């Protein structure tokens, strides 16, 4: 049975079919959520909320072939919702520079996961989402923009500035003065 | 040749390493939650409920279990204190023509016909028959009455199952005879015997008393009953209808936002020709569809995105468009038919016809045809198709706290919207007491709108509101 059949069955209330759809999608979406939220418990909540929304609203999905994109969108929006509910403080720090690395030199080196972890945590979750969707889920930027409900130009800008911030962070562990608008400390 | 940024080159692998993709350990918990959550029926939307619930409250997974346990406990505990008050048995729907009662399937169980045996020999978990209010003690005097058969029991309730009246063991004892033995209320062991018959089409049940020592049962069980036959067997609706005049089972025209969703029996009456089905009957919303469309419905409503329905809703609120499409009730508009029509006509996202006066059972209103304005490009975040969508209303939450429906409220108020090429006729009727009933004819396929509206208008004109 192909995915379209499963989606059709799940739309009609077949929970077993939905369970199969969950099984095939949840590992990657859970990973994406953990990358965006940098908190496994929050990720668990967001993924569950996204899948619950998918189950409840599945009858309204018009095109079964869009199930994957729709489900991804629901989970990512759940992640964003979680971060918005939890946001405690907002940083408004000018990002300088925005064109390439400012400090350090990792061009010929290897970035380790700890460095990346630190760099990701310094990004606003909504910016982090752009990075994760593009580089982890492999989505083209127009799809990233559509998933997040933002203009393509905004997605490009966020990605560009996120990479710049990450370069700075990775290149200089003490570059704590560099943050991005709306940043949240995890 | 453009150089590849080393960070970008490493990011996919680094992110994969950092994320450590694995099957989460909460899959079973998630599936338990979704298994207990109702899907949002597509029929509750103009083109399907928009999947726009952004702040839906996730109920603890134990809630449905607790609800059932509470209901069972109430059934078992309350009955003993209930006293008889003289009963009356209003007629329901077209007069039934009882046929010979089928023989009981076994002497120890409820007869198959009462349990609504299906052609394949299976039964719904609970077979529900409904009738009008009974003069019995307790709240909910305007609510209907329900007989809920399982294989061996009969629970007598109002439309709300949290108001149980009696619980009996039930068995067919002879052809057309049903013996009820009290297990709660009237004292243990009180027995009664009833004669029953079902119309040839299986839609009407008639019960008369032979004798009963239980006064509560004797007051409530005899009478004419309509079969609940929704695609979702937990929902109250009549499904396919024979031509005739029917009462609504739960719809409450005067229900207002924030009211508890108390069902009212017979507050809407309507006449249909052959070929229509009742797809939903909730305190805040009532739905009729063509039987040919209903044939393809699933438990959650339309399954193919094709929605062609006649919807009646009580006291909806106008809604501004919001970025998340959850809608925002418009508080500044006068709660009147004219106020609503003026507001609708002023919205740039909607293209509307010139409103025309209409009168339904003496209630005055206005009719206006709507569609998404060609210039409108707003969409909803959860819509995978990015279809232009114009939010216009926030209805009374149809999944409100009506235990009979055994639905779980999300705590959120979904919005209603026009989507894409959909067409809609919206009729607003002043039903008195400051209340507005909204009647809609909606067609996701614009080519079907005019014919659907032409068929629906005589039904709409037949409606009465109490």
* DSSP state string for B255-272: --TTS-----TTSEEEEE
Same domain, B282 and B421: yes
Assigned domain for B133 exists: yes
Tell the burial category of B414 from Cβ atoms under 10 Å away from its Cβ (0-12, 13-18, 19+): buried
Beta-ladder partners of B285: B282, B313
Number of domains, chain B: 2
Does pLDDT of A86 surpass 70?
Answer: no
Nearest to A62 among B27, B55, B305 (CB): B305
Does pLDDT of B369 surpass 70?
Answer: yes
Same domain, A110 and A142: yes
Chain A contacts of B305, Cβ < 8 Å? 60-63
Residue B294, sorted as left (phi over 0), alpha (psi -120 to 50) or beta, turns out to be alpha
Q: Which of B227, B245, B265 is the last residue in one of the domains? A: B227
Q: Percentage of residues in chain B with pLDDT exceeding 90?
A: 37
Same domain, B192 and B270: no
Same domain, B181 and B126: yes
Q: Which of B170, B204, B227 is the last residue in one of the domains? A: B227
B95–A contact, CB cutoff 8 A:
no
CATH code for the domain of A136: 1.10.10.10
Q: Are the beta carbons of A27 and B7 separated by less than 8 Å?
A: no
Residue in chain A closest to B409 (alpha carbons) equals A56
Q: 9-28 in B: which are within 8 Å (CB) of A?
A: 10-12, 14-24, 26-27
Residue matched to tokens 């106020």: B339
**Residue span of the structural domain in which A165 resides:** 89-186
Q: Which residues of A22-51 are buried (b: 16+ CB within 10 A; e: fewer)?
A: beebbebbbbbbbbbbbbeebbbbbbbbbb
B93/A157: higher pLDDT: A157
Q: Are the beta carbons of B23 and A27 separated by less than 8 Å?
A: yes
**Residue span of the structural domain in which B390 resides:** 39-61+232-465
Same domain, B220 and B252: no
Chain B contacts of A131, Cβ < 8 Å? 11, 15
Assigned domain for B120 exists: yes
Same domain, A98 and A78: no
What is the per-residue pLDDT for B284? 83
Beta-ladder partners of B320: B328
H or E element, residue B173: strand B164-174
Question: Which of the residues A42, A60, A108 would you substitute to probe the B interface, choosing the one with the greatest number of B C-beta atoms within 10 Å?
Answer: A60
CA-to-CA distance for B138 and B83, rounded, in angstroms?
Answer: 10
Residue in chain A closest to B407 (alpha carbons) equals A56
Same domain, B245 and B133: no
Same domain, B101 and B47: no
B273–A contact, CB cutoff 8 A:
no
Same domain, B249 and B132: no
Assigned domain for B334 exists: yes
Q: Which of A86, A116, A147 is the last residue in one of the domains? A: A86
Same domain, B164 and B245: no
Same domain, A163 and A127: yes
Q: What are phi and psi of A131, to 5 degrees?
A: -60, -45
Q: What are phi and psi of A59, to 5 degrees?
A: -60, -25
CA-to-CA distance for B92 and B249, rounded, in angstroms?
Answer: 10
Same domain, A15 and A32: yes
Does pLDDT of B185 surpass 50?
Answer: yes
From B216's Cα to the closest Cα of chain A, the distance in A is: 38
Number of domains, chain A: 2
A48–B contact, CB cutoff 8 A:
yes
What is the per-residue pLDDT for B447? 96
Does pLDDT of A5 surpass 90?
Answer: no
Tell the burial category of A21 from Cβ atoms under 10 Å away from its Cβ (0-12, 13-18, 19+): buried
A110–B contact, CB cutoff 8 A:
yes
pLDDT, tens only, B337-366? 999 999 999 999 999 999 999 999 999 999
Question: Which of the residues B61, B296, B300 would you substitute to probe the A interface, choosing the one with the greatest number of A C-beta atoms within 10 Å?
Answer: B300
Q: Which two tokens stand for residue A136?
A: 């982890």
Assigned domain for B6 exists: no
B50/B343: higher pLDDT: B343
What is the per-residue pLDDT for A167? 84
Mean pLDDT in residue range B197-210: 94
Question: Which of the residues A14, A57, A85 would you substitute to probe the B interface, choosing the one with the greatest number of B C-beta atoms within 10 Å?
Answer: A57
Beta-ladder partners of B181: B169, B191
Same domain, A76 and A98: no
What is the per-residue pLDDT for B189? 78
Same domain, A93 and A44: no
Per the CB < 8 A criterion, the answer to whether B381 and B401 are in contact is no
CATH code for the domain of B410: 3.40.1000.10
Q: Which residues contact B195 (CB under 8 A, 6 or more apart)?
A: B101, B176, B177, B178, B207, B208, B209, B210
Same domain, B379 and B428: yes
Same domain, A45 and A105: no
Q: Are the beta carbons of A12 and B299 separated by less than 8 Å?
A: yes
Among the ranges given (B314-323, B388-397, B406-415), the one the predictor scored with the smallest mean pLDDT: B406-415
């Amino acid at each position: 049975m192909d995915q379209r059949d499963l989606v059709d069955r799940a739309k009609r209330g077949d929970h077993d079919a939905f369970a199969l759809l969950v099984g095939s999608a949840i590992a990657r979406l859970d990973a994406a959520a953990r990358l965006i939220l940098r908190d496994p418990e929050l990720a668990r909540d967001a993924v569950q909320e996204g899948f619950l929304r998918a189950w409840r609203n599945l009858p309204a999905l018009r095109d079964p072939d869009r199930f994957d994109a729709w489900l991804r969108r629901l989970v990512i929006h759940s992640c964003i919702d979680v971060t918005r509910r939890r946001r405690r403080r907002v940083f408004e720090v000018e990002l300088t520079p925005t064109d390439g690395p400012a400090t350090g030199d990792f061009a010929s080196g290897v970035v380790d996961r700890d460095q990346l972890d630190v760099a990701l945590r310094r990004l606003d979750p909504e910016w982090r989402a752009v990075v994760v969707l593009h580089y982890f889920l492999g989505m083209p930027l127009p799809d990233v923009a559509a998933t997040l409900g933002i203009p393509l130009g905004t997605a490009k800008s966020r990605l560009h500035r996120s990479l710049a911030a990450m370069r700075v962070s990775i290149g200089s562990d003490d570059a704590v003065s560099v943050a991005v608008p709306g940043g949240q400390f995890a | 040749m453009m150089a590849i940024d080393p960070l970008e080159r490493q990011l996919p692998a680094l992110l994969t390493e950092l994320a450590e993709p694995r099957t989460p350990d909460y899959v079973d918990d998630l599936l338990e939650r979704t298994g207990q959550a109702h899907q949002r029926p597509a029929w509750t939307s103009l083109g399907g409920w928009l999947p726009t619930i952004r702040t839906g409250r996730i109920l603890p997974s134990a809630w449905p279990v607790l609800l059932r346990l509470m209901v069972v406990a109430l059934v078992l505990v309350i009955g003993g204190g209930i006293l008889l008050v003289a009963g009356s048995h209003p007629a329901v729907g077209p007069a039934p023509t009882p046929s010979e009662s089928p023989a009981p399937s076994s002497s120890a169980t409820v007869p198959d016909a009462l349990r609504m045996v299906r052609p394949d020999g299976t039964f719904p978990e609970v077979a529900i028959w409904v009738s009008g209010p009974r003069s019995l003690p307790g709240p909910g005097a305007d609510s209907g009455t329900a007989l809920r058969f399982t294989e061996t029991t009969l629970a007598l309730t109002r439309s709300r199952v949290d108001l149980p009246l009696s619980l009996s063991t039930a068995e067919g004892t002879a052809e057309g005879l049903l013996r009820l033995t009290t297990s709660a209320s009237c004292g243990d062991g009180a027995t009664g015997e009833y004669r029953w018959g079902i119309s040839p089409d299986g839609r009407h049940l008639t019960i008369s008393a032979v004798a009963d020592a239980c006064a509560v049962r004797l007051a409530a069980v005899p009478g004419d009953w309509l079969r609940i036959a929704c695609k979702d067997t937990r929902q109250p609706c009549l499904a396919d209808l024979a031509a005739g005049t029917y009462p609504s089972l739960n719809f409450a025209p005067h229900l207002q936002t924030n009211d508890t969703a108390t069902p009212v029996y017979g507050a809407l009456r309507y006449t249909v020709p052959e070929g229509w089905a009742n797809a939903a009957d909730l305190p805040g919303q009532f739905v009729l569809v063509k039987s040919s469309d209903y044939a393809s419905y699933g438990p959650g409503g339309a399954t193919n995105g094709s929605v062609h329905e006649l919807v009646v809703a009580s006291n909806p609120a106008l809604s501004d468009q919001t970025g998340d499409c959850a809608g925002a009730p418009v508080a500044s508009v006068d709660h009147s038919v004219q106020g609503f029509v003026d507001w609708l006509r002023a919205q740039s996202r909607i293209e509307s016809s010139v409103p025309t006066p209409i009168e339904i059972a003496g209630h005055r209103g206005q009719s206006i045809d709507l569609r998404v304005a060609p210039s409108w490009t707003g969409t909803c975040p959860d819509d995978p198709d990015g279809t232009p969508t114009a939010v216009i209303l926030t209805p009374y939450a149809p999944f409100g706290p009506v235990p009979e429906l055994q639905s779980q409220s999300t705590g959120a108020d979904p919005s209603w919207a026009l989507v894409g090429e959909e067409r809609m006729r919206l009729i607003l009727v002043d039903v008195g007491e400051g209340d507005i009933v909204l009647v809609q004819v909606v067609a996701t396929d614009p080519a079907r709108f005019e014919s659907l509206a032409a068929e629906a208008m005589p039904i709409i004109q037949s409606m009465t509101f109490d």
